[in-house]
Amino acid sequence: MTKVISFQDKVVVITGAGGVLCGSMAKAFAEAGAKVALLDLNQEAAQVFEDAIVADGGVAKAYKANVLEKDSLEEVREAVLADLGPCDILINGAGGNNPRATTDNEFHESDLPEGTKSFFDLAKAGIEFVFNLNYLGTLLPTQVFAQDMIGRTGANIINISSMNAYTPLTKIPAYSGAKAAISNFTQWLAVHFSKVGIRCNAIAPGFLVTNQNRGLLFNEDGTPSARAEKILRNTPMGRFGEAEELIGGIFFLADENLSSFVNGVVLPIDGGFSAYSGV
């Protein structure tokens, strides 16, 4: 318990690593000595983090990968094995919502203005896109990378759930359902891999401003949207979180000394949002 946290020479594979939250996790793992594989559909975005980590003297490599394509993931798995070695820690970070699976209205009413995108207007393709990105996009990388993790000391998987998993947020039914499925899948994996030494846990971040939710949280002139004001009223700490504030929880779950008997939990990191009834 008194050991300083170190991920020296651990191979950490992070999907969605070109994004705000997972890029920041990648930097933190590299600073703690890990060799980090940055996987993203947007390779240029992941490359920016590779460059920053390498410039700081760390070990990282960016790979183009689609978490929805098993062939793409298998190809990257071979490359990571050759470049960095077998995966010790997998962070399933790729995910997000999409306007195609978002209603305009919080509540359905009989006299919605002309042109309102209601629940009845959401196309199957948009719903499928969001559900698959979050759920299948967690399951497929786990199928591919967990093969190399079996029997490795301290191996573990961390999924990214959300506040939506506890109580759905209005407007985003596919994202809410997919994140609930991720919390469930986290428990399923924890049980399934319990005999082969792979732990599986998740974090459920509260509200952090990133690319995927900027449009929902801010008006075009930069002022907080009505939705953002509502979120802040329901976050007892009264502010949005910062990407760096996820690192303590991630390190706790990933570190084999700190959490060797923690398996199947979803850790909220939310400024108290999930604890607050609003009253």
Just list the catalytic residues.
175
By C-beta, is 154 or 203 nearer to ligand NAD?
203
Contact with ligand NAD (CB under 6 A): which of 11, 15, 76, 102? 15
45 lines the binding site for ligand NAD (CB under 6 A): yes
State in angstroms the smallest separation of the CB of 93 from ligand NAD: 5
Alpha helices in the chain, H assignment, sequence order: 20-31, 43-55, 70-83, 124-131, 137-149, 173-192, 214-217, 226-233, 247-254
Contact with ligand NAD (CB under 6 A): which of 48, 52, 54, 68? 68
Where b means 16+ CB within 10 Å and e means fewer, 241-259 reads bebebbbebbbebbbbeeb
In 85-133, the DSSP E strands lie at 89-92
State in angstroms the smallest separation of the CB of 41 from ligand NAD: 4
19 lines the binding site for ligand NAD (CB under 6 A): yes
Residue with the CB atom nearest ligand NAD in the bound state: 19
Contact with ligand NAD (CB under 6 A): which of 105, 184, 212, 274? 212
By C-beta, is 92 or 263 nearer to ligand NAD?
92
By C-beta, is 138 or 156 nearer to ligand NAD?
138
In this structure, what are the phi and psi dihedrals at residue 80, rounded to the nearest 5 degrees? -65, -40
Q: What does the per-residue mask of binding to ligand NAD show for 167-186, with x meaning CB under 6 A?
A: --------------------
By C-beta, is 45 or 155 nearer to ligand NAD?
45
From the list 88, 95, 110, 104, the residue with the least C-alpha distance to 37 is 88
41 lines the binding site for ligand NAD (CB under 6 A): yes
The Cα–Cα gap between 130 and 173 comes to 10
Q: Can you give the binding site for ligand NAD, defined by CB under 6 A?
A: 15-16, 18-22, 40-42, 45, 65-68, 93-96, 133, 137, 160, 162, 205, 207-208, 210-213
